[in-house]
Each structure stands twice: as structure tokens, then as C-alpha cells.
A and B are shown apart, each in its own frame.
Chain A
Amino acid sequence: MTEASAVRFIELTIDGQSVRVPEGTTLLEACRGQGIATPTLCYLENLTPVNVCRVCVVELEGSRTLVPACSRRAETGMVVHTDSDRVRLSRRMVLEFLASSVDLSLAPAVGEYLRRYNAHPERLGPPAAGSERDFRPVGHHHQPDGTTAETVAQPVKVDNELYIRDYSRCILCYKCVEACGVDAQNTFAIAVAGRGFDARISTEFAVPLPESACVYCGNCIGVCPTGALMFSSEYELRQTGAWDEAKQAQTDTICPYCGVGCTLTLHVQDNQIVKVTSPLDHDVGHGHLCVKGRFGWQFVQNRTDPAKE
């Protein structure tokens, strides 16, 4: 705490404004401090930035390339432009490539980004039909003929009782890999497999989850920005058309299991818990849970009402 008071402040320029931030602040944090809206997809407060999605890039004078705001730390004298033509073009391109190849219908933030950057993914052609991607031979990705936009569409993976993986919605932001790895769970059940357009999130040898190292903490679901990873309870309700966020209430309470005391946000629809999240900014768990907190709530709903039997 004494160290905190010794933190140095540095000055830089963002969009013509002089800005003073503590040493160690990222450009993203500095921008947000100025109220500058900066799009992010692969960034999350409780994970280490991997700067793969490139949608947060900003222009830094003197730098040959645009730099990712989420991971680049502010330095004294930096001159940063967040809304130059070059930045807008780059963000637009990234968004068009992602939106043309991935189903982003459950990523509400993206719709707003597309409008903000005047991005038109449909100009790349109608989406191509998908197929199984896990066992394509390495290096056999064929270029599309230009009439359709290549996609990552593929069958939904339903291989366990607790959550599904719909990689047609995956933008390869790495958040799930980070949460499964050193940023939270240290289980390393999943990684990015393959190269280029064939790159995908996979268990070892693409085995089903029950044969993998997965411990079902669901921290990957908690960080997924596009709905690619989803509670089975949510998936099943969506399949029947019964999922209705307008009818849902969110209530914070404490997990009923061990003595750590993680905060659970219960998403309740029609007096039924339909999924569980955890606030990222809470001191105890920083948004991460274990299998019991994430999925172990079913017992309160298994009690039958004798009057209705």
C-alpha cells in the first residue's frame, strides 16, 4: 500500500487532449478514463490481454503499425489518435471479416460496433455452408471461389450435461483458453489448434469434453463474448423458443457450498434459475467460479411441491 502512493504519473496526448495517468495504465484504460468509447472483443478486466482481435487498435505517432490499446501501456509523450481514418478502416475491416465468417447474433456489442464503423460484412458474399472442422487435414483449407463468404459454421457440440460449445459463434478471442489456463483455472483443457482460417478452439485431439481435462468450472462460459459457450439450460430454452431475457431477473447472492463465499448472480426466469454468472469486480472470486457454484444449484429446483403432485 505504501508502494501505491509512490506510483509515478505520466503524461500523454490522446486525440489532442493532454492526459495524466498512473504509470502502468494501458491505452485502453486511459481512453476509457477520457470517456472515449473503444471497442473490445478479446479484452476482459479479469484476464491478461492477449491482443488478438485487433478491434481496439489505435494510431500511435511514430509507430509503423497500429497498436492494440488493451495491452499497450501508456508512455510519457505518446501521441495517440483513436478515431483517425486509419483506425476506423482497420476496425471496420476486422469487424467485417469476423462478422462475415462467424455467427455474431448473440454478441450484442458487435451490432453496435458494425454501425459505428459503417461495416458491411454482407459485401463479402452470403455465408458459405459449414461442415465439421475438427478433423480437416492440416493445410487443406481451400480458398473460396468468391461467391460466398467463408465461415466457421459447424455442428454444435453437445457432449455433456452442463454446457454446449457452438463454435460457429467463435471469434477465436482466446478468452476461454486464458480462463481455463493461467488466468483462472489452471486446467489447460482447451487450446487453439490449427493454423490460419482452420484455427479453432479444441480439447486435446478434439476429444469430447467428458474425456478431456475439463473440470466444468464454466469460467470459459463466463468470459465468452459471443454465446459460443452456453449453459445447457440456456441452450435448451433457446431451442424451444422459451428463452426470454425480458422476463429474467438477476439477483446477487452467495454460493451455498464452501467457505470461499463467491458471489453468484442468479438469472431467474419463471421462478427457475436458468444460468449463473459472477461479477468480475468482486474481491473474492473476480468473476470465476467452480463447478458447484456454476452448475450445482439444481437441487433447489428438484424439490417437488406436494400440493402439485
Chain B
Amino acid sequence: MGREIIAAGLVNDTFIAQATDGFEEYRLAVEPYTLDYAERETGVPAALIREVAHAYADADRAMICWTLGITEHHNAVDNVLALINLSLLTGHVGRYGSGLNPLRGQNNVQGGGDMGALPDRLPGFQQVEDDALRAKFEEVWGKKIPPKRGWHLSGMFEAMERGELTTLYIIGENPAQSEADAAHALHLLKGLEHLVVQDIFLTATAEMADVVLPAAAGWCEAEGTVTNSERRVQRVRKALNPPGQARDDTTIICDLARQLGYDWGHPTAEDVWNEVRRLSANHAGMSYRRLEELGGIQWPCYDEHHAGSPFLHGRLWEEPVRGPRAPFLAVEHDPPVDRLDGVYPIRLTTGRRLDSYNTGVQSGGYRSPLRRGETLDLSPEDGGRYSINEGEHVRISSRRGSIVAPVRYDSSLRPGLAFMTLHFPDEVDTNQLTIDATDPKSGTAEFKATAIRIEKIEPIGGHLAAPLKDVRPAEQPD
């Protein structure tokens, strides 16, 4: 698309000259990526790519929204950079109704990052390796903070493999079922010296734990805030009393701190939030009262008179540009790590279905009329090619594992592409197949691109030849 926009003379010259760097290098880098090349590589018709490129470049306002189809690849960050380049090329950034919008998959994945649940950040996206920023937190917290970045999730699993990480305290995640190459992840979790799980369910991960801390559901049994895809901080409120001995996360963590010799008192969610406001300029203006009155506020919101920020990067349109210019960062095409070949000829991608969610610990709780259990979705053409009817069970194998699932036809899939979800790991553990090749910059695994083969299971005397259980191949090709 970038090459076509340049070739067709649809670039926003004014914006590029005023606000960006590196256009010439980008132009040279995309030159080989003709429409014909892109069609050959992706299977998307050249005319269609051209149409989208022109529609995007010609629009008064245009926004690129994406989900994990961009980021769950071994070159996740490069994929995002490619999209950023398009927005710089056309000036579709930094203005109302334009921009780049990663649609978040969880109700607070944005807020988790905002609050410093990243290996290299403190609350408010402040760099942990910046001495001045760290000092600000150390002063308020009265304690030295390790000056080095930590591990992201994939890095933690690598550290477990090296024996450097021997204890884990997991809050509200189910890695025993959600990690790519599940058998390998499970092996590493089992090897830990000590595992603590704090969750609202006894998940598969919690069942492995030495200590389980029953938690209240953050969205309806506790007070607090979450932050959505558009950086809007909104209040969650307590509507129910949690069952049994389950308690909210703040109480559990403060009790744990007390056991370790630090008395943090009994802060309310609002007390904790006000500390965030003190330390993060982006959140300073968001009092509970204002969050209530305005129905949420989008950060940055610097003071109690600031209305919040519906979009970012408006500075790129100021003359002259305030702050650094936005760089084009050219990237090269790099196909998935798990290559297709004669043995594994089908590309499997994973995702969600409308009524279900991740490993199903939440969505499994209600009786959805849409739910049909896990299937391998194939194009009708592939169904014909492999002589597999809908509803028939097949063995699905990748270079890491093998599982059994029934087939369903989906005419929205093109031949050669198959689809499964991670919603029903107890019945069909799709992550036995996926590859844990990760993006070195983001640590995200390539859930979206696995090479598989499928084999029909011939019924013998009315029974399936193989049990419908997950079976690992005898030999593990690497």
C-alpha cells in the first residue's frame, strides 16, 4: 500500500516535509513491493490492494484499527511500524477522526500498561531506567527501585528455562492454558520451586500452585478503574459481595506486604488512584469525582480543568513541530517462522468467536446458544480437496503437537487457511499446535501462524481409530 500511495502521487507532501524524517529511505525500501509482488505473496488481488490504498490516502480522515492479527507474530513490532508508516505517508495521524488504534483485547490491558505492568515502565509509562523518573517514585515510596528493566512474559518463560526464575506470583492469568506451545509452558511451570496464584477461579494454573489466594472479581466485587482502547479511564464499582474468603486484590497485596514487614495501612481504591495521580502527569486531573461526572476521561489529563485527550500526536501538525519529528522506519517482509512445506501444507490462524473469550474461564460460565464447541474451520474448497465432510473428526498436527477436532466449513476462509480458537482448552488444546516463536521487541508469540497438516480419522466399527484426547507425537521434530 505504501509503495502504491507513493507511486500514485497520493502522499501528503506538506505533512511529510513538516513533521517526519526518513521518507527517502522509506521510499527506496518499499520500491520493490509492487502490487503484483504483494498479490503473489499474500494472495490478496492487486486491484483490491490498490483500491484500499487509494481509499485510505484520498480520505479526509482515516483511521487504522487493528487487533492481534497484526501483533501476534514473530515480527509484531515491524507490522505495527508498517502501519505507522502508512499514517505518516498520508498525514492520517494527530487529528480528530484519524490515527492509529490498536483495539485492546481485554477491558484493562491498556490500564495494566499505563499502571506500569510492563518490564521497563513505572506508572504513567515512565521509564524505570531513567534515574530522575525513578527518583520521583523512590521519594514517594521511600524505597529504592531496581534500576534495570525486568522480563516480559516470554522473557520470564525463557528465564524459567535457564533456571533464573524459580518463583512466580501470578494474578489473574492462566498461562498453563494460554501460552503458545502449551506442553512446553506447562513443563516450565511444573519446574518452579514456588508458585502463587491469585485468581477468582481455580484455573488450570491455580491447580498447579503451592498457594492460591482467592480474589474478588475486579469488575463487580471491588472498586477501582479500568482503561479502554481509547485511553479512557472509567470506574468499576462493587455491585456484589465476593463469595467465601475471596478478597479484593488491594487487600490481599497489602496483607502480603504486612507479612513481609511493610505496613501500607488499609488504602481504598481511591487512595491508590490518588497516588497514581500524584506520580503520573497523564492522570493528574482524573479525580474520582470527575471520572464519575464525565463518564470517564481519556489520558493525558494534566489537571482538574483539563477535558482529557480524544486523540494524541496533535503536536505533529503544529508549525514548527513541537518535539521530535516522527520517523519513517522501513521494514521488510518476513514470513512466519513456522514454514509451510509438503508435510505441513496448511496455515492455521487462531482467534476468538463472538460469544467466547480467551481460554473460556469467564465465557464458559454462561449458556450461549451460539456455542458449538471447538472446530477446525476450513474453506469448503479444502474440505473437498481432503474429502472431509463437516462434522467429521480430523487429526491436526503441527511440528510441536497433535490434537483431534471436528471440521466445520467456513466460506469466509480462503483455501489453504484454517482457523481455530483457544476457548475450549480442556476439550481441544489448540496451543499444543502453536509456536512460541516470539517477537524480540514485544515478546509476543506467533499465535497467528502455525503450519499444520490434517488427516482424516477413519472410523473402525463405528468408533474413531484414535481417542479424542490430545496426543503428542512420539518424536518431537524441532
Contact = CB atoms under 8 A, between A and B. Distances in A.
A and B from one assembly? yes
Contacts of B361: 299
Contact of A260 (B221, B228, B239, B363): B228
A251 B237 contact: yes
Interface stretch (B32-40, B74-82, B98-106, B400-408): B98-106
A215 B220 CA distance: 25
A257 interface: yes
Given A291-B368, A291-B370, A256 B355 contact: no
Contact of A295 (B103, B221, B244, B366): B366
A256 B228 CA distance: 11
B228 A299 contact: no
Interface in A214-257: 214-216, 249, 251-257
A186 interface: no
B351 interface: no
A295 B105 CA distance: 18
Contacts of A308: 244
B199 to A, nearest CB: 11
A209 to B, nearest CB: 7
Interface in B332-381: 354-355, 357, 361-370
A189 B226 CA distance: 33
Interface stretch (A46-54, A166-174, A261-269): A261-269
A214 B237 CA distance: 31
Given A257-B362, A283-B295, A300 B369 contact: no
Nearest to A211: B369
A298 B366 contact: yes
A225 to B, nearest CB: 24
B110 interface: yes
B244 A259 contact: no
Given A256-B219, A258-B104, A303-B243, A162 B367 contact: yes
A282 to B, nearest CB: 6
A305 interface: yes
Interface in B79-123: 96, 103-107, 109-110
Contacts of B300: none
B363 A273 contact: no
B221 A300 contact: yes
B240 interface: yes
A122 B235 CA distance: 48
B450 interface: no
Interface string A54-92: 000000000000000000000000000000000000000
Interface string B199-217: 0110000000000000001
Contacts of A1: 96
Interface in A259-302: 259-261, 263, 266, 268, 271-273, 282-284, 290-292, 295-302
Nearest to B110: A259
B241 interface: yes
B366 A254 contact: no
Contact of A254 (B219, B241, B357): B219
A300 B220 contact: yes
Interface residues of A, number: 47
A304 to B, nearest CB: 7
A132 interface: no
Contacts of B107: 254-259, 261
Nearest to A295: B366
Interface in B240-276: 240-241, 243-246
Which of A249, A259, A263, A307 has most B Cβ within 10 Å?
A259
A295 B243 CA distance: 20
Contacts of B365: 296-302
Nearest to A257: B357
A304 B243 contact: yes
Contacts of A295: 366, 368
B234 interface: yes
A308 B244 CA distance: 8
Contacts of A307: 244-245
B52 to A, nearest CB: 21
A137 interface: no
Nearest to A251: B239
Contacts of A296: 355, 357, 362-363, 365-366
A298 B368 CA distance: 11
A138 to B, nearest CB: 30
A308 B110 CA distance: 37
A266 B241 CA distance: 13
Contacts of B245: 306-307
A252 B364 CA distance: 23
A155 interface: no
A210 interface: yes
Contact of B241 (A261, A271, A302): A271
A252 B237 contact: yes
A160 interface: yes
Contacts of B443: none
Which of B106, B228, B245 has most A Cβ within 10 Å?
B228
B369 A162 contact: yes
A215 B234 contact: no
Interface in B271-294: none
A161 interface: yes
B133 interface: no
B12 interface: no
Nearest to A215: B354
B399 interface: no
B237 A284 contact: no
B187 interface: no
A291 B352 CA distance: 13
B217 A256 contact: yes
Interface of B: 96, 103-107, 109-110, 200-201, 217-221, 226-230, 232, 234-241, 243-246, 295-296, 354-355, 357, 361-370
6 contacts: A161-B369, A162-B366, A251-B238, A254-B234, A263-B295, A297-B365
Given A216-B368, A251-B237, A251-B239, 13 more contacts: A162-B366, A254-B235, A254-B236, A255-B107, A259-B103, A261-B226, A266-B220, A268-B239, A268-B240, A291-B354, A291-B355, A292-B357, A305-B244
Listed from nearest, the 4 A-B pairs whose CB atoms lie closest are A259-B104, A261-B228, A299-B365, A251-B239
